[in-house]
Amino acid sequence: GIQVEQSPPDLILQEGANSTLRCNFSDSVNNLQWFHQNPWGQLINLFYIPSGTKQNGRLSATTVATERYSLLYISSSQTTDSGVYFCAVETSFNYGQNFVFGPGTRLSVLP
Amino acid sequence: KAGVTQTPRYLIKTRGQQVTLSCSPISGHRSVSWYQQTPGQGLQFLFEYFSETQRNKGNFPGRFSGRQFSNSRSEMNVSTLELGDSALYLCASSLVPTPTNEKLFFGSGTQLSVL
């Protein structure tokens, strides 16, 4: 089945710093989403981005489908950005696996 | 519009027991999928339901089962609990089933501890 990797696994930042999180996937996808899991376990949908670039406030994401990677940019980070960021992919050729999640990037933003 | 609602929030069970978890999707969403999250295995797909039919099932033993009702609410059941079933169980809803170009929306999860 499709493989999803995320880097870095852990990231520690000072408040106000910028960061880039990466997601690599091993096959073509028809759906890619980024999620933020807060300290209470809730997964918040940040972006649906199978290709192209989107921006939402301090967050933006870019997916280069032909090269099989996606990037999540966080600018001017705040302590509330702390948590784990997951990318999840779905492929039409992966019947039975639904969405496949990467292992996540754990972000800690220090005040 | 209310989000995805999962109950209960926490559960403590002992080995051998069975457990039922509940998920109410966002109003109008007809697809419900379940995921298990553990520190060692990460987020793993359990199953997906649409129109009361199971469409996909992940690689889990038959002790894990689920169903969906006509109002799109879903339940999952784990029988003969094992210590390794301790996990956060997350439910997600979407407008249509996979493969899809729709967003997934998750509930807050049920934290199951098996003693």
* Residues B43/A101, Cβ–Cβ less than 8 Å: yes
- Closest CB from A33, A98, A100 relative to B48: A98
Q: What is the DSSP string of A42-65?
A: -EEEEEE-SSEEEEETTEEEEEEG
Question: Given this model, what pLDDT does residue A15 score?
Answer: 97
Question: Given this model, what pLDDT does residue A96 score?
Answer: 57
Question: Given this model, what pLDDT does residue A97 score?
Answer: 66
- Is the Cβ pair B105, A31 closer than 8 Å? no
pLDDT tens sequence across A79-92:
999 999 999 998 76
Query: Position of tokens 């559960």?
Result: B11
The contacts of residue A57 (CB under 8 Å, 6+ apart) are: none
- Closest CB from A43, A48, A90 relative to B90: A43
pLDDT tens sequence across B79-108:
999 999 999 999 999 987 776 778 899 999
Cα–Cα–Cα angle for A50, A20, A36, nearest 5°?
65
Express as a percent the part of chain A with pLDDT over 70. 95
- Closest CB from B42, B44, B105 relative to A104: B42
Query: Residue B27: is it exposed, middle or buried by C-beta count within 10 angstroms (0-12/13-18/19+)?
Result: exposed
Q: Inform me whether the C-beta atom of residue A40 falls under 8 Å from chain B C-beta atoms.
A: yes
Chain A residues within an 8 Å CB radius of B106: 35, 42-45
- C-alpha–C-alpha distance, residues A1 and B45, integer Å: 13
Rounded to 10 degrees, the C-alpha dihedral B62/B38/B42/B7 comes to 70
Nearest chain A residue to B33 by CA distance is A98
Q: Inform me whether the C-beta atom of residue B104 falls under 8 Å from chain A C-beta atoms.
A: yes
For B96, the token pair is: 């249509």
